[in-house]
Amino acid sequence: DSKALLASTFAEWHREGRVLMHQLNHESAEQQLAEIRAYVAQLERQTADLQEQVGMYDRQVDLITGTLQKELKTKEELAGELRNAHAYMRKNNFTPTTADTAGVGADWSRHGDWSRTSSEKTIDQ
């Protein structure tokens, strides 16, 4: 009778030990799961922040690209005006010394399409 009681007590104690070990493992797994979820939430916030930064940088690149395209157009217009001025000077046999004296009081706007208005419009836009 005492041996049966001792065996029954030992079996119950052994079962209780397994239940406690299972609960401990379960709590540990829940803690790890909570930590992983917190880490995932942190990564999602970082990803959202990085995506926002990428969007901002994309807009800045677009603005810079637009500015550079306007500057390129302005330079092309200025180069065209310079070509026209040089062609006019070659056509009329101007040299650097005669250009200085011939240019005094001259109305350059009446010669060809040499005008500052086209590039001024580009700069102001």
Q: Angle at the Cα of 49 (from 47 to 54), degrees rounded to 5? A: 90
Using one digit for the tens of pLDDT, what is the confidence trace for 23-74? 999 999 999 999 999 999 999 999 999 999 999 999 999 999 999 999 999 9
Report the predicted TM-score, pTM, of the whole model to 2 decimal places.
0.51
Residue 77 near residue 122, CB atoms below 8 Å = yes
Number of Cβ atoms within 10 Å of the Cβ of 105:
6
Quote the DSSP letter at residue 104.
T
What's the rounded Cα separation, in Å, for the pair 42 and 73? 46
Tell me the two tokens of residue 19: 């239940």
Using one digit for the tens of pLDDT, what is the confidence trace for 6-24? 999 999 999 999 999 999 9
**Strand ranges in the chain using DSSP code E only, listed in sequence order:** none
Question: Does residue 114 surpass a pLDDT of 50?
Answer: no
